[in-house]
Amino acid sequence: EDAMLEYLKVAQDLEMFGVSYFEIQNKTGTVLLLGVDAIGINIYDTRDKLIPKVGFPWSEIRNVSFKEKKFVIKPADMQSPDFIFISTRIRANRQILSLCMGNHELYARRRRPDTKEITQLKAQAAAEKSARNQERARVRVDTERRKQAEQERESLQEKIDGLERSTQLIRQGL
């Protein structure tokens, strides 16, 4: 569990983590990639999936929709023009819209304060994690103490064996 959390902490900082890419075309027919992630919607050149050409954070998007193969991003600023893209498949538009809805819901949830139940669950999880860590520490200390006791026992046994040999030599000398 801890290893998976550490992996996710590292992976989530990678540039392409959590981005779903879809092939689209702009009005002029240029092939581009549309990427949907937790932060928003980005448009990429097909040769560079790391640096978006245009980005639309969720906070700046008013609406996302599609009709047939046409995919429309409506900015929150009413003065800005709509961004229209053409996808290669209608099915891709459904997937894009579904991902947009899910990611936007998660975005909105992150911005809302936690409910009492969530706060209690988080506190309970933190307490359980603390208890597990304390138990691990206790087991570690007990293991170290056992090792030390075993080493002391072996050392004392060697001394006893040495004293018994000395006693036998003394008895033989008498």
Quick: pLDDT tens for 23-79: 999 889 899 999 998 889 999 998 988 888 989 999 999 999 999 889 999 999 888
Residues 94, 126 contacting (CB under 8 angstroms)? no
User: In the listed set 111, 133, 161, which residue is the last one of a domain according to the structure?
Assistant: 111
Residues 49 and 12 in one domain: yes
How many domains would you assign to the chain? 2
Q: Which two tokens stand for residue 162?
A: 């040495």
Q: Which two tokens stand for residue 137?
A: 């520490």
Residues 77 and 162 in one domain: no
Q: What is the pLDDT of residue 15?
A: 63
- Residues of the domain holding 36: 2-111
Quick: pLDDT tens for 6-25: 777 776 666 667 788 999 99
Amino acid at site 31 = V
Cβ partners under 8 Å of residue 32, min gap 6: 23, 24, 25, 26, 43, 44, 45, 46, 53, 85
User: In the listed set 92, 111, 130, which residue is the last one of a domain according to the structure?
Assistant: 111
Residues 65 and 150 in one domain: no
Residues 105 and 136 in one domain: no
Quick: pLDDT tens for 109-166: 877 787 889 889 999 999 999 999 999 999 999 999 999 999 999 999 999 999 999 9
User: In the listed set 64, 88, 111, which residue is the last one of a domain according to the structure?
Assistant: 111
pTM for the whole structure: 0.56
